[in-house]
Structures are given as C-alpha cells and as structure tokens.
Structure 1
C-alpha cells in the first residue's frame, strides 16, 4: 500500500522554495563567472556537498558505497558530471535564461527513452502531443533568432544552447539509469553520494585540462560557493528526497514547472538578460509540452469532469 499522502500547504511551500533555489542557481553561476569559471564552481560545490552528505550518512550509519550499487553508481556519477560540465561550459556562451529552459527539457527525453525501454511507460496520445509541442518549442527557441539583438555576455549563444540541450539529455540518461538499475533500490543519499563524488573529481579534472582553474576570491565568489554547495547541491536535494518519500511524486512534480519560470524571470531581473521574441514563444511551448507529458493523467481527469458537467 502506498503510504504517500496528498500534497499539503507545507509541501507546496517547500517545493516552491526548492523551485526558486533551482531556478536561481544558474543565475548565480553566471553572475560570478568573470571571477571563477562555472565549471570550477560546479566542481567545488559538488565537493562541498559530497563532504556534508558523507558526514550526515556516517552519522545515520548509512552505507556510503555498497557492492550491489557501486557500478551503476559510478556510471550515474559520470552522467551527472557530464550534465554539469555541459551546464558550466554552456554558461560561458549562452544566457542563464536559455540554460534553465533547455536544461529543464530533460523530462521529455526521459519519457521518450522509457517509452522504448519499459512497456509500462508507453506514451499515451496526450503525452505524444506534449512531446511534439515541446520539440516544436525547442526548434522555435533555437531557430527564431533576433539578428539585431546583441548579447555581449553570450557571444556564441547557439553553441551554448546546444550544450544546454546535451546537459538535459545527460540528466535524462541519469534518471533512466537510476530507475532501471540496482540504484532503484538504493537509498537516495547513497545515489546522490555517488553522483557528487564523481562529479567533483571529473569536473575538477575537466577544469584543469581546459585551463579554467584561475579565480579571483571575492566575497561574491565565496558567498556563491557556500550557497551552491550547502543550499543548492546539499540542502535542497535532501529536502526534495524527503518530500518524495512522504508525498505523491506526481503532485510534487507539477510544482517544479515553476523552476524555469523563476530562472527566466531572475535572469532578466538580476543579470539584465534580454529575451528574444522567439525564445519566449519557444520556452512557453516547451513548458506546456513538459506539463502535458508529466501530468497527462490529471489533465484527463479534469477534462472528464468538465465534459460530464
């Protein structure tokens, strides 16, 4: 019997806060990128979060590594590292608002992969419509460019957008791996620990190889690293897993659609990023498509109620 309960005021408040935190992380990575590269920031925040998580797990007497999960855990960590390496590299070229929208197209790729991998995850007609809507939106956001719009901080925006999409695909592959391997039965803390440790090692190595280890240690950089490591990568993910253990995952998931909205609004407000007309239309279509894929059952229930009245 499923002991998870329906979403309440506490859950709504927490998931809204998490969505805000996840939405602003790309903005903060971009904001201090002149003093420390996003790739190096991501490596260091993963190391901070891994250390904090290890302390919590040792205190709770949880296994950091187990014989049954270390192999898929290592692969999940590599995919996780790839995702955030693409995020860090992408932020050197594109805007934070573009990054957040393209990154959060990941559920579309998850749904497509699971459709061909797991029989019970076959897509319904409404979900296919959502996927088509999202892909049209991605195409519009990529191809409808305002040639007169100048974005000095995003000189090669198209390449940055490609990297953002590669990050989304890496995230999707990580999700599918976790669901279809022994990690599905592992604790969320152990799975996250694998990802954080491998991400720290791999992305730090990538930063060294690509010459992105120089930095200026300003107050903004230190504050951002503390926020990214403690709040974003450690705290928000632990709270997220706590919510998933206690509340309906589908109901919680609906509210995360606020994340790209928060990210775009904060990018415009804090970074003065321009919004191209094509990107606005494309982003709206992407978010609508994701909502249709992830919440198709609720949409069908609401439509039945409407037509029965």
Structure 2
C-alpha cells in the first residue's frame, strides 16, 4: 500500500479533465433518456463498465476475487453506488442537468460530516462547518422560487440531494473500512457489479418502458456514460485516491458543477436566472471552504 502524498501538476491536470468529464455526464443522461428509461440506463452503464473492467483486470493481471475481508463493505458500497445513480437518473426526469449537478455537488459537504465522525484525523473545523452551511443556504435560496427549472423540478432537486448523500456515504465507507487497503480496480468492481445486478432487474419491476429507440445520439450518450465515465474516469479517480492526499484532490471537485452548468446551458439550452447563479456561487464557495487545507499552525516562539 502506497503512502499518500500531495499531488503534483500531472495529478492536477488529470483532476480538471475528470471534473469536465463528470460535468458532461448529466447532459448525456438527458440525451440517452430520449430512448432508454432512467434506471435501465443506469444499469446498462454499470454493466458496460464492469465488462470493460474485467478485461482490464485480466490484461493487467489484477485479481478481483481473492479473499481479503473486503466482501461485506464492498457489497454495501455497491448498493450505495447503485442507489446514488437511481436518484440521479430519476432526478433528471424532473429537473434540468444544470440544477441537478449543483445539488449533487453538495456531496463533499456531507462527506466532510461523515469523515468527521467515522475516520480518525478527519475532524471538521469551523471553516468547514461554515462551508457546509453556505452550500445549503445557496440551495435553499436558489431553489425556493422559480429558478429556470421545469414544473415539479423540486422533486428532481430532492432526488439530487439524496444522490449527494448516497455519494458521500459511499466515500466515507471506502475511507473507513477495509476498502481503503485494496486496489482501486477491486473497489470499482464492487460498485459496478453490484449496481448492475440490482438496477437491471429493478427497471422492469418498477414498470419502466425500457428501450424505446436506439438513435445514434442515444447510443453515443450511453457509451460515453459506460466507457468514459463509469470505467475510465472512475478507475482514474480511485487510482488517484490510492496515491495522493484526498483533501488536496477534493478541492478540484467544485469545478464539476461549473462544467455541468456550462454544458447544460450551451448544449441543452437550459435557462439561467439570477437566483440560480447565486445558488451556484454559494454551493461552489461552500465546497471550496470545506476542502481548503487547514492553515499551518504558527511555530511557537522560543524566548532567548
């Protein structure tokens, strides 16, 4: 197990690329929803990615089934991961990509709260608490009235908030259990395999229409989610977590909602209003406060 170190320039550049990749995902979910039901779409995404991961692991000689006491937390992580994306995909049926991604990226705030109670050395400071409160103030202000969303958008916003809580719970579980000591590939395998096994049969059980049309945009959007996001970007993210200090990487996560809002406005022609812009600013500022490294303590002076 490698000791985590501060990230360098290459890691910073990779994080920016990952944030842009995740920001664009909400747009592709909207596009693919024109031909594939939300929960089925999420299950197919995980299934595509887990097949690619199995090929990758075999090629690299990475064992995914060895006994290492990670099965129970791994199954729970997979369940939480699947639940998170049920909320995301269903949420996008009610609200815009721009709105949902801003709500979703309150997750780092919930993560800080979870780490404070369950992971030694991750106790929350007053500055981080202020960031959590600021992010929630932005959500309340931005979404309390009409802010560019469709009728019933509050349902999608609520589902986005539940997805954020699920994402944070998954991160805390990975940091606080045996999962923190296993390979990034195996952590991702648990999440993809369990979520695919849950979501694919869940879709017909809840009465989804399934696949209604497979146009080129729908297929490309699903491929982006499965190949680029769920396989390549998540593998890169978990690899970064095994190599570098998490708090130094997490500060870049505030870029994702900015990318997401920009993509939603440019590609889906979603409308921005002043209150929504304030919400974006408050959530972004709150996440930055949460993730800023703690100030160094001043060295004690020694009288001569």
Equivalent in the alignment of 1:7: 8
Deviates more, 1:275-284 or 1:18-27: 275-284
Equivalent in the alignment of 2:253: 256
**Equivalents in 2 of 1:76, 1:230: separation in Å?**
21
Equivalent in the alignment of 2:59: 59
Report the 3-state secondary structure (helix = DSSP H, G, I; strand = E; otherwise coil) of the residue aligned with 1:121. coil
Q: 1:119 to 1:254 in 2, by over 3 A?
A: closer
The reply on whether 1:196 has 2:197 as its aligned counterpart is no
**Equivalents in 1 of 2:236, 2:118: separation in Å?**
30
Structure 1 residues without counterparts, runs of 5 or longer: 305-309
Quote the offset at 1:143 in angstroms: 1.2
Q: 2:270 aligns with which of 262, 273, 296?
A: 273
**Equivalents in 2 of 1:76, 1:231: separation in Å?**
21
Q: 1:242 to 1:59 in 2, by over 3 A?
A: same
Quote the offset at 1:7 in angstroms: 1.8
**Equivalents in 2 of 1:64, 1:6: separation in Å?**
27
Equivalent in the alignment of 2:27: 27
Asked if structure 2 preserves the Cα contact closer than 8 Å seen for 1:42 and 1:203, the reply is: yes
Asked if structure 2 preserves the Cα contact closer than 8 Å seen for 1:4 and 1:245, the reply is: no
The reply on whether 1:77 has 2:78 as its aligned counterpart is yes
Equivalent in the alignment of 2:130: 129
Deviates more, 1:115-124 or 1:24-33: 115-124
Quote the offset at 1:296 in angstroms: 4.0
Report the 3-state secondary structure (helix = DSSP H, G, I; strand = E; otherwise coil) of the residue aligned with 1:120. coil
Equivalent in the alignment of 1:307: none
Quote the offset at 1:245 in angstroms: 4.1
**Equivalents in 1 of 2:175, 2:240: separation in Å?**
18
Quote the offset at 1:109 in angstroms: 0.8
Cα shift readout 1:218-276 (whole Å, capped 9, x = no counterpart): 11111112211111111112222333444443333222221110000110110011123
**Equivalents in 2 of 1:181, 1:249: separation in Å?**
16
Q: 1:234 aligns with which of 217, 231, 235?
A: 231
The reply on whether 1:156 has 2:157 as its aligned counterpart is no
The reply on whether 1:112 has 2:109 as its aligned counterpart is no
Report the 3-state secondary structure (helix = DSSP H, G, I; strand = E; otherwise coil) of the residue aligned with 1:123. coil
The normalised TM-score by structure 1 is 0.89
Asked if structure 2 preserves the Cα contact closer than 8 Å seen for 1:7 and 1:247, the reply is: no
Aligned length: 295
Report the 3-state secondary structure (helix = DSSP H, G, I; strand = E; otherwise coil) of the residue aligned with 1:257. helix
Report the 3-state secondary structure (helix = DSSP H, G, I; strand = E; otherwise coil) of the residue aligned with 2:36. coil
**Equivalents in 1 of 2:244, 2:120: separation in Å?**
25
Structure 2 residues without counterparts, runs of 5 or longer: 299-304
Quote the offset at 1:2 in angstroms: 4.2
